Amino acid sequence: MDVFARLRRRRQRLSARARVAGVASAAHAADLGPADPGAVATLAPVHRHPAVPDPTAAAFFDVDNTLLRGASIFWFARGLAAHDYFTTRDMVGFAWKQLKFRATSSEDPDDIASARDSALAFVAGRRVDEIVTHGEQIYDELLAARIWSGTRAFAQLHLDAGQRVYLVTAAPVELARLLARRLGLSGALGTVAETRNGVYTGRLVGDILHGRAKAEAIRALAEREGLDLERCVAYSDSINDLPMLTAAGSAVAINPDPPLRRLARIRGWEVHDFRTGRRAARYALPMAAALAVSVGYAYHRRRR
């Protein structure tokens, strides 16, 4: 078999896995449970008239560095570390990936794959309801304060217009749904881990919801829910989300990495940057935070 044939077969396999991941994620998108009234009330206008439903339009928001400062899987892992899900080495690895993410405002595909593989490893054999219960506490303690208020305001504009709002993330779908529910959004698309009898098996359904898999998930959801993608808007910070951004009729760059900023300028997309502080602070503060996390957890584990 020649090189080009092997490449074609590899692309076909990747496309098939992305399609499976997207369809699986779309099937879980609206399974949120009741919204958190407190979270919604703090961000909603005091006086609001009921929105007139606009059932064929929706907005899709990436999570990491678009809605949330940093990588959601890192903060989730940090919260679970308190329940002995990790070794010190695991936490040091997560801290390093968080440092790279915050310092460069970009996503390394190898780091993403490694982080999700690690996530699957620590949930294997655990009950789904156990992880979700811990997730509620982690949201309150670590995630709520890291939501970009500017991005949340954009989401609220779509809700006020009667449109649905979905999160789209490579993070586990349980974490994605929790975020969406606590923020009063319509649903979430995330990486689906295989379960049997309410227990994680340690395997993925399809692939990580990243890159083309996000676009597949959006298309599958649009088909399920009767959305007109030409009337939809996608928001992201990363050029890695180009398939998702181009799957919707409109795109907005939020806190964009340099390649996405350049592309947005070329294509005339809106750009909004909610990051503040000087360039030095963008590098020094995340480095100090990551180092503190690593050393602190190592010390904590040694004492125990």
Q: Long-range contacts of range 175-181, CB-CB < 8 Å, 24 or more positions apart?
A: 175/72, 175/73, 175/76, 175/135, 176/63, 177/28, 177/31, 177/32, 178/132, 178/135, 178/136, 178/139, 179/63, 179/67, 179/68, 179/72, 179/139, 179/143, 180/32, 181/32, 181/33, 181/34, 181/35, 181/36
CB distance 26 to 189 below 8 Å: yes
Choosing from 2, 31, 36, 62, the catalytic residue is 62
Q: How many residues does the chain have?
A: 304
Looking at the DSSP bridge assignments, the partners of residue 253 are: 236, 271
Residues 6+ apart with CB under 8 A from 197: none
Looking at the DSSP bridge assignments, the partners of residue 68 are: 64, 147
64 is catalytic: yes
Shortest CA distance to 258 belongs to which of 244, 277, 243, 279?
279
d(CA 298, CA 89): 8
Provide the greatest CA pair distance for the chain.
66
Choosing from 2, 36, 64, 117, the catalytic residue is 64
SS (HEC) of 84-97: CCCCHHHHHHHHHH
Report the phi/psi class of residue 229: left, alpha or beta, with left for phi > 0 and alpha for psi in -120 to 50. alpha
The neighbour count for residue 223, using CB atoms within 10 Å, is: 12
| Residues recognised as catalytic | 62, 64
